[in-house]
Amino acid sequence: MSISKEQEVLLQFVKRWFNRPDQISHYLTEVSDGPTKAERYLLNNLFENGTILDVGCGAGRISMFLAEKGYKVIGVDVSESLIIKAREISKKKDLDINFIVTKGIELPFDGETYDFIVGFKFLCYIPTSQLRHDYLKNLYRILRPGGILLITQNIVPEEYIDEARDEYFQGCSASHFTSLEQGDNFPLGDGYVHWFTEKQLLDELSNTEFLIEQFDTDEAHAGDGLLRLVKLRKD
């Protein structure tokens, strides 16, 4: 998988962001909350048992919930700081979860390894549609036939997408990158995130080998209608 210098810099922005003390503190406070109502609705698609990969696992909020339900769980994240915290908390809870620090968009797993993959709000931290496509292709590779990929992702209404570039955008060293796309932003000038419109998210997911079996809003599940709940299946 070829990565350009600009893509590598943006991936480093993501890694730096999720190693910030304020981000670590934020995700630690959420661990004990478990899944939201919308996430629980989506997780109801899982079979009663199986092996799960939690991508962008952070401090382990979803991984630990699933492990407590009896699943075999592996969690991966680019933030070494969050993975360290996840390991500490899971050990205290006596949960057997393998938490792994990954680099960029690597997924160091053999093909057809997992029954399920869970990825909550992770796509927005992968720069460029091409890298997101490549990452989804890799997720497809490591799923077993019939396996399920569950995704949540925030969206921005079409009419507001250009406002995603806030006051920090121009001051960021990467603001001149030619690989930037509509919806790209630099939180506090220090991180990277891509905001999707609903159409773009649906288009990118449709441009994969996955079957889209569910593409719902969170509005019926205590949400504001700006989160999409997605179930994808590998034939």
Residue-wise burial string across 18-34, b where 16 or more C-beta atoms lie within 10 A, e elsewhere: bebeebbeebbeebeee
Which domains are seen in the chain, by residue range? 5-233 (3.40.50.150)
Q: What are phi and psi of 76, to 5 degrees?
A: -130, 145
Q: How far apart are CA 134 and CA 126, in angstroms?
A: 10
Q: How far apart are CA 15 and CA 35, in angstroms?
A: 23
Instruction: Supply the pLDDT for residue 1.
Output: 66
Q: How far apart are CA 50 and CA 52, in angstroms?
A: 6
Instruction: Supply the pLDDT for residue 2.
Output: 85
Three-state DSSP state, 73: strand
Query: Which pTM does this prediction carry?
Result: 0.97
Instruction: Supply the pLDDT for residue 96.
Output: 97
The pLDDT profile of the chain, 235 residues, written as one tens digit per residue, is 689 999 999 999 999 999 999 999 999 999 999 999 999 999 999 998 999 999 999 999 999 999 999 999 999 999 999 999 999 999 999 999 999 999 999 999 999 999 999 999 999 999 999 999 999 999 999 999 999 999 999 999 999 998 888 899 999 999 999 999 999 999 999 999 999 999 999 999 999 999 999 999 999 999 999 999 999 999 9
Q: How far apart are CA 46 and CA 117, in angstroms?
A: 10
